[in-house]
Structure 1
Amino acid sequence: MPRYLYLVRHAQSAEKQVNQNDIGRELTSAGVKQSLLIGGYLLQQQIIPDVIMSSTAERARMTSSLIADALRTDPDKVVLQDDLYEASTRTFFQFITQLEDHQQHIMCVAHNPVISYLAEYLSGAEVGDMVPAGMAIIKFNIQSWKEVSQGNGELENYVTPEMLTP
Structure 2
Amino acid sequence: MTPFLSPPTRLYLLRHAKSGWAEPGGRDFDRTLSDAGFAEAELVADAAADRGYRPELVVSSTARRCRQTFDAFGRAFPGLEEVRFVDELYNAPADTYLELLGATRGVQSLMLIGHNPAMEEVLAHLCGHDVVGRTIPDGYPTSGLAVLEVADKTWALKDFLIG
1:6-155 equivalent positions in 2, closer than 5 A: 6-74=12-80, 77-100=82-105, 102-124=106-128, 125-126=131-132, 127-128=136-137, 129-141=139-151, 152-155=154-157
Q: 1:46 aligns to what SS in structure 2?
A: coil
1:158 to 127, 137, 160: 160
Percent identity, aligned pairs only, is: 26
Provide, for residues 67-104 of structure 1, a one-character-per-residue CA deviation record: whole Å limited to 9, x for no partner: 12122233x6321011111111111111110002x211
For the 8 Å contact 1:55–1:110, the answer to whether it is kept is yes
The 3-state SS of whatever aligns with 1:95 is: helix
Q: Name segments (4+ residues, structure 1) moved above 6 Å.
A: none
TM score, norm. by length of structure 2: 0.85
Secondary structure of 2:22's match?
Answer: coil
Q: CA RMSD in A?
A: 1.8
CA contact (8 A) 1:42 1:71 kept: no
Q: Which amino acid aligns with 2:103?
A: Q
Amino acid at match of 1:113: P
Question: SS of the residue aligned with 1:32?
Answer: helix
Residues 68 and 78, structure 1, Cα contact 8 Å, conserved in 2: no
Give a deviation string over 1:82-141, Cα, whole Å, max 9, x none. Answer: 1111111111111110002x2111111100111111111111122441111001111113
The residue identity in structure 1 corresponding to 2:19 is S
Letter in 2 for 1:105: S
Runs of 5+ unmatched residues, structure 1: 162-166
Unaligned runs of 5+ in 2: 1-5
Q: TM-score, normalised by structure 1?
A: 0.84
Which letter does structure 1 place at the counterpart of 2:66? A
